[in-house]
Amino acid sequence: MPDRLLLTDLTAATMVPGTVAYGLIAQAAICVEGAAIRWVGSAGDVPEEFRDVSVRSLGGRLVTPALIDCHTHIVHGGDRAREFEMRLEGASYEEIARAGGGIVSTVSATREADEESLLSDALPRVDALIAEGVGCIEIKSGYGLDLETELRMMRVARRIGEMRPVTVVTSFLGAHAVPAGEDADRYIDEVCLPALEAAHAEGLVDAVDGFCEGIAFDTAQIARVFDRAAVLGLPVKLHAEQLSHMGSTALAARYGALSADHVEYATEEDARALAQAGSVAVLLPGAFYTLRETQTPPVQAFREAGVPMAVGTDLNPGSSPLGSLLLAMNMGCTLFRLTPEEALAGTTRHAARALGLSDRGEIRAGLRADLAVWDVKTPAELSYRIGSNPLHTRIFGGHS
């Protein structure tokens, strides 16, 4: 029989939708059996079968679902700290690009790095997220832009999930940028789609992503990638409407995408389309902050349409070198005017949905026992504090 454990002396922010904010249960208990939650409720109502099992008191602390970072580019070579300096010294994007910077520099560094180097560089970033109560991380490819390097990135992502107590969900992002001097359509046909086929054949792909923007690919080109994903039986998601409005959110909705990410330039009509498709809007305040953007996502339109909103770090070396999901929650509140409850739902229940995961993101019977235990009095403190990590412990699959 799997190990049984009774967690007591806690407040549970279950994040189960209902009439109570955060799905909060004061003076709660949680019954865990193996890797699953068997029961959660008031401590006085613990089922008889869990009265004589191992008991662990959590000292009155707050328990939430383990956090989920649903959008990262955590595997890459090199960094772009010098570009950060150059921008502050007055250099334009074009000047940085002419100096060999921008995504081209990350592509070059990633191509030059072997699998072990990419892995050793990525693990500290993963460990920092785990230390903040994260139990699931999405990892994208997209800095290879050739078959060999895209596969290498995806293999590293899979290895991270084997080497650390964290669930890794992979997204193939071969349609991330057009290599220098390359024709976009030829690249899609001769590099991106064959790389997707190869990665899928190797069991490396959980979803397919793309970057639909004037500096990347148009809607027709992304549609070809999504058509191939459909043939392979893979769900899709999309970097949409980040820098301009190109119709990419509507495209994502048309394909029933798991999520449309960034969405700063999305419209009320886009919000209604996402709601009808059941897609999640993933908000990425780190990129908004780093790029000093001024166009905020239409949060109120998403609320009114009933679009679930997730929050991610978008951890990447260029536009969002943000390695803290807790800080992303704070930024989502301060920059995008999310409520703290929306920010926590965005890194638990809605983040799980953005990855197509139905077995986590809430504390309720039948879901994975992925939990975060916090030294805070109220859930709002998780978004309120800046540069603070109040994690007491993390429980992953029933084990801490």
Give first-to-last CA distance, the chain, whole Å: 19
**What is the tens place of the pLDDT at every residue in 204-213?**
999 999 999 9
142 marked among binding-site residues: no
319 marked among binding-site residues: yes
76 marked among binding-site residues: no
Q: What are the structural domain ranges in the chain?
A: 4-65+361-395, 67-355
For residue 193, the tally of other CB atoms under 10 A from its CB is: 18
176 marked among binding-site residues: yes
The reply to whether CATH 3.20.20.140 applies to domain 67-355 is yes
C-alpha closest to that of 382 among 338, 313, 327: 327
pLDDT tier, 171 (very low <50, low <70, confident <90, very high otherwise): very high
The residue with tokens 């909060």 is 24
pLDDT tier, 100 (very low <50, low <70, confident <90, very high otherwise): confident
Q: What is d(CA 245, CA 336) in angstroms, rounded to the nearest whole number?
A: 19
Bridge-partner residues for 312, per DSSP?
none
Q: What is the pLDDT of residue 250?
A: 98
- At residue 1, does pLDDT exceed 60? no
242 marked among binding-site residues: yes
Q: What is the pLDDT of residue 385?
A: 96
Instruction: Report the CATH number of the 4-65+361-395 domain.
Output: 2.30.40.10
For residue 262, the tally of other CB atoms under 10 A from its CB is: 28
For 318, the token pair is: 């260029």
239 marked among binding-site residues: yes
389 marked among binding-site residues: no
pLDDT tier, 197 (very low <50, low <70, confident <90, very high otherwise): very high
pLDDT tier, 164 (very low <50, low <70, confident <90, very high otherwise): very high
330 marked among binding-site residues: no
Asked if residue 43 lies in contact with residue 63, where contact means CB atoms within 8 angstroms, the answer is no
Q: What is the pLDDT of residue 355?
A: 98
Q: What is the pLDDT of residue 169?
A: 98
**What is the tens place of the pLDDT at every residue in 294-334?**
999 999 999 999 999 999 999 999 999 999 999 999 999 99
Percent of the chain scoring above 90 in pLDDT:
90
Instruction: Tell me whether domains 4-65+361-395 and 67-355 share a fold.
Output: no
Give CA angle at 347 (344, 353), nearest 5°. 120
**What is the tens place of the pLDDT at every residue in 40-66?**
999 999 999 888 899 999 999 999 999
Q: What is the pLDDT of residue 94?
A: 62
* Residue 76, CA atoms < 13 Å, CB-side half-sphere: 26
Which of these ranges, 42-51, 109-118, 137-146, 267-276, has the smallest mean pLDDT? 42-51
Q: What are the phi and psi torsion angles at 227 (to 5°)?
A: -60, -40
The pTM of this model reads 0.97
Arithmetic mean of pLDDT, 369-381: 98
**All residues at 6 or more sequence positions from 160 whose CB lies less than 8 Å from its CB, including other chains:** 74, 75, 119, 122, 123, 126, 137, 139, 166, 168
Beta strands in the chain (DSSP E): 4-13, 24-33, 36-42, 54-65, 67-69, 134-140, 167-175, 207-210, 237-240, 259-262, 280-283, 309-311, 371-374, 391-395
